[in-house]
């Protein structure tokens, strides 16, 4: 028994020594990890990727609404209101997916129909109504704002959406008559999209570019181009960005 007991005691002592060595090794590794220089390049990339994903998630419903409406209007050859309704329905579906996914993550339940009826539908309808009917006095002079509701609905929607990002954007011109060109000292443009077109809407707006910086002006131009509108930076009475829907 003493021999066997001595053998067990030796084994226990050996296990304790091995455990102590393993513990010391892990403590040293942990200290090295804590004191090792961090790879800020990888951290920066990870943060940037996270920010871009967040921006994409937030921007996607607006892209579906605006770009979708312009796409259906141009390629589906449908009236503006029908193109807007189709794009709005797709946006309601997307917002419903967002909200139901968030609810499922937080509560484990997903009430799709309830969310679509009481969250997504009112939200999209309110946003479209607000965008189509209202333009702040900060974003246009009173004589220009007066013509806001004569502008094509899809152009109004795109304009209001960008103002969410750039609240200092200024619309310098919307609707024109032929005599306005004479008053401005310009040759009359018989094909101007600033006139009321056959569908009853004005299809063009001019945006201020002065004192806004090259990058910001390029960003505005890229946005409207990406949403399916035509853009032209040119000088009439002053340098401005012309945006139209043909």
Q: Per-domain residue ranges for the chain?
A: 43-133, 138-246
Reported as a single tens digit per residue, the pLDDT across 54-66 is: 888 999 999 999 9
pLDDT of residue 1: 43
- Please tell me the number of Cα atoms within 13 Å of 81 on its side-chain side: 3
Instruction: List the Cα angle 76/125/108 in 5-degree steps.
Output: 105
Reported as a single tens digit per residue, the pLDDT across 102-155 is: 998 888 888 899 999 999 999 999 999 999 999 999 999 888 999 999 999 999
- N- to C-terminal Cα distance for the chain? 101
What is the rounded distance in angstroms from the CA atom of residue 152 to the CA atom of residue 205? 10
What are the backbone angles phi and psi of residue 187, rounded to the nearest 5°?
-70, 145
Q: Model pTM greater than 0.95?
A: no
Predicted confidence band at 2 (pLDDT cuts at 50, 70, 90)? very low
* Topology (CATH level 3) of domain 138-246: Muramoyl-pentapeptide Carboxypeptidase; domain 2 (3.30.1380)
């Amino acid at each position: 028994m003493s021999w066997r007991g001595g053998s067990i005691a030796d084994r226990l002592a050996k296990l304790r020594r091995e455990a102590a060595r393993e513990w010391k090794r892990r403590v040293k590794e942990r200290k090295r990890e804590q004191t090792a220089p961090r790879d800020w390049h990888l951290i920066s990339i990870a943060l940037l990727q996270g920010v871009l994903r967040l921006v994409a998630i937030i921007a996607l419903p607006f892209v579906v609404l605006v770009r979708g409406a312009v796409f259906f209007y141009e390629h589906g050859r449908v009236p503006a209101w029908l193109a807007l309704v189709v794009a709005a329905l797709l946006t309601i579906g997307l917002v419903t997916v967002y909200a139901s996914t968030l609810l499922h993550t937080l509560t484990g339940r997903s009430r799709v129909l309830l969310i679509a009826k009481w969250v997504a539908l009112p939200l999209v309808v309110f946003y479209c109504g607000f965008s189509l009917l209202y333009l702040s006095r900060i974003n246009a002079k009173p004589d220009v704002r007066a013509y806001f509701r004569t502008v094509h609905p899809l152009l109004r929607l795109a304009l209001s959406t960008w103002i969410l990002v750039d609240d200092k954007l200024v619309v310098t011109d919307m609707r024109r008559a032929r005599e306005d060109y004479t008053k401005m000292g310009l040759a009359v443009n018989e094909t101007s999209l600033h006139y009321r077109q056959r569908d009853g809407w004005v299809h063009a707006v001019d945006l201020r570019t002065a004192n806004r910086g090259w990058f910001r002006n390029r960003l505005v131009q890229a946005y409207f181009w990406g949403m399916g509108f035509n853009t032209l930076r040119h000088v009439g009475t002053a340098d401005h960005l012309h945006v139209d829907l043909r």
